[in-house]
């Protein structure tokens, strides 16, 4: 494709008052790609809870508070419009559709990178946090690191999957289950959970059990869950947990319990129940970022861990291969997501609705509309 005309300036949404919910539409200079970089004309960006946490400085584990003027966002899709020097072997060409995810770029050389643990890169760059993010019409990305988007996958569908889809797929892989094994998803009706049910079931061949409140039952079963348990029907004490554990085991392959539990909710109570659902050798995967002060995982005493050879692992987003696999699964129609599309000017309002838990499904910003 011939060279594309790139403007000198473009529209971007910045965090004008970090610490509170506030974004501002500004005109900023369009950068030129440096060595190894590509410039992407973004058309869509998903809006994620993690963006809100960054904007409002809610994550104390991040090294520094967010600065005013930060362009947020980390679920962006668009077309490559210009390539910097040193990108000849990247496989990218002008006009290719690519995505930017939470890890905007990694060093590629540290031990976590060499192990395929991109989120743990010792000098990784987070999109929308000290690296200009995807709430803008043009963004730079490392040409070797952006995610190719398959032709069959529309950009608005791809954008939110670059975060939630990749995250649950990587988590499901880490649970070590084999096709035909049972995997339990606490928070099955939520943003991450509903993707986990589809990717784990249709995509990976696991037998999926969903746990959530009863109003989500039809939704979760419709996505392919073989069994569903309404958390509100069990008392919040040890008796309720015992009953739920028995029910999960009964529904599992061989009645022995789940090979994996991938916790897709922020609820500490859900983490407290998860180990009990596992059979021998099973794995609890921590994916949902827990709410409030840190709480140890109940039942993780060395005795019961060793006698049943259970494992607890953490999983943060995913690497390039996870992203490519997820995009291919979505292109094949394995994953359906519910999302609404809003213009750029609605971003603050979207965050306000998110704060009040009023969003149904994901919101994707159409960056071609102010």
Residues that bind Zn ion (CB under 5 A): 48, 50, 106-107, 110, 113, 121, 163
| Shortest CB 46 distance to Zn ion, Å | 7
Tell me whether residue 177 or residue 317 sits nearer to Zn ion (CB atom).
Answer: 317
Tell me whether residue 167 or residue 182 sits nearer to Zn ion (CB atom).
Answer: 167
Running DSSP on this structure, what letter comes out for residue 309? T
Tell me whether residue 135 or residue 229 sits nearer to Zn ion (CB atom).
Answer: 135
Tell me whether residue 259 or residue 264 sits nearer to Zn ion (CB atom).
Answer: 264
Put the strands of the sheet holding 103-105 in their side by side order: 103-105, 125-127, 130-131
| Shortest CB 74 distance to Zn ion, Å | 6
Q: What are phi and psi of 70, to 5 degrees?
A: -65, 130
| Shortest CB 25 distance to Zn ion, Å | 21
CA distance 310 to 278: 8
Q: What are phi and psi of 110, to 5 degrees?
A: -75, 170
| Shortest CB 162 distance to Zn ion, Å | 8
Residues in the chain, how many?
Answer: 370
Tell me whether residue 62 or residue 110 sits nearer to Zn ion (CB atom).
Answer: 110
| Shortest CB 205 distance to Zn ion, Å | 26
DSSP state letters, 144-162:
TTSEE--TTS-HHHHHHII
| Shortest CB 366 distance to Zn ion, Å | 18
| Helix, coil or strand: residue 278 | strand
| Helix, coil or strand: residue 212 | strand
Q: Do the beta carbons of residue 50 and residue 127 sit within 8 Å?
A: no
Q: Are strands 125-127 and 103-105 parallel, antiparallel or unpaired?
A: antiparallel
CA distance 264 to 262: 6
Sign of torsion, CA 131 132 134 138? negative
| Shortest CB 289 distance to Zn ion, Å | 11
Tell me whether residue 122 or residue 235 sits nearer to Zn ion (CB atom).
Answer: 122
Tell me whether residue 172 or residue 275 sits nearer to Zn ion (CB atom).
Answer: 172
């Amino acid at each position: 494709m011939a060279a594309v005309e790139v403007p000198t300036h473009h529209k971007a949404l910045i965090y004008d008052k970090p610490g509170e919910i506030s974004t501002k539409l500004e005109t900023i200079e369009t950068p030129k790609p440096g060595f190894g970089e590509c410039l992407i004309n973004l058309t869509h960006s998903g809006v994620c809870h993690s963006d809100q946490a960054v904007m409002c400085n809610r994550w104390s584990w991040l090294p520094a508070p967010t600065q005013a003027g930060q362009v947020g966002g980390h679920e962006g899709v668009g077309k490559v419009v210009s390539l910097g020097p040193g990108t000849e072997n990247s496989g990218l060409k002008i006009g290719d559709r690519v995505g930017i995810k939470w890890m905007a770029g990694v060093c590629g050389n540290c031990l976590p990178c060499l192990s395929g643990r991109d989120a743990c890169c010792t000098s990784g760059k987070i999109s929308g946090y000290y690296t200009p993010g995807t709430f803008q019409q043009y963004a730079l990305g490392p040409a070797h690191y952006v995610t190719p988007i398959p032709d069959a996958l529309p950009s608005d569908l791809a954008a939110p999957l670059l975060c939630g889809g990749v995250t649950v797929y990587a988590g499901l892989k880490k649970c070590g289950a084999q096709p035909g094994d049972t995997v339990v998803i606490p928070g099955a009706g939520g943003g991450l959970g509903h993707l986990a049910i589809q990717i784990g079931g249709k995509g990976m061949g696991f037998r999926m059990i969903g746990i959530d409140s009863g109003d989500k039952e039809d939704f979760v079963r419709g996505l392919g869950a073989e069994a569903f348990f309404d958390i509100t029907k069990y008392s919040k004490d040890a008796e309720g947990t015992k009953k739920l554990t028995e029910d999960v085991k009964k529904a599992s392959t061989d009645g022995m319990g789940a090979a994996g539990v991938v916790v897709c909710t922020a609820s500490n109570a859900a983490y407290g129940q998860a180990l009990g659902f596992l059979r021998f050798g099973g794995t609890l995967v921590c994916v949902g970022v827990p709410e409030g002060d840190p709480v140890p995982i109940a039942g993780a005493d060395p005795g019961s861990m060793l006698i049943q050879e259970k494992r607890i692992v953490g999983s943060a987003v995913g690497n390039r291969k996870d992203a490519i696999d997820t995009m291919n699964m979505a292109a094949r129609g394995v994953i359906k997501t519910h999302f609404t599309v809003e213009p750029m000017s609605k971003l603050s309002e979207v965050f306000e609705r998110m704060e009040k838990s009023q969003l149904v499904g994901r919101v994707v910003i159409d960056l071609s509309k102010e």
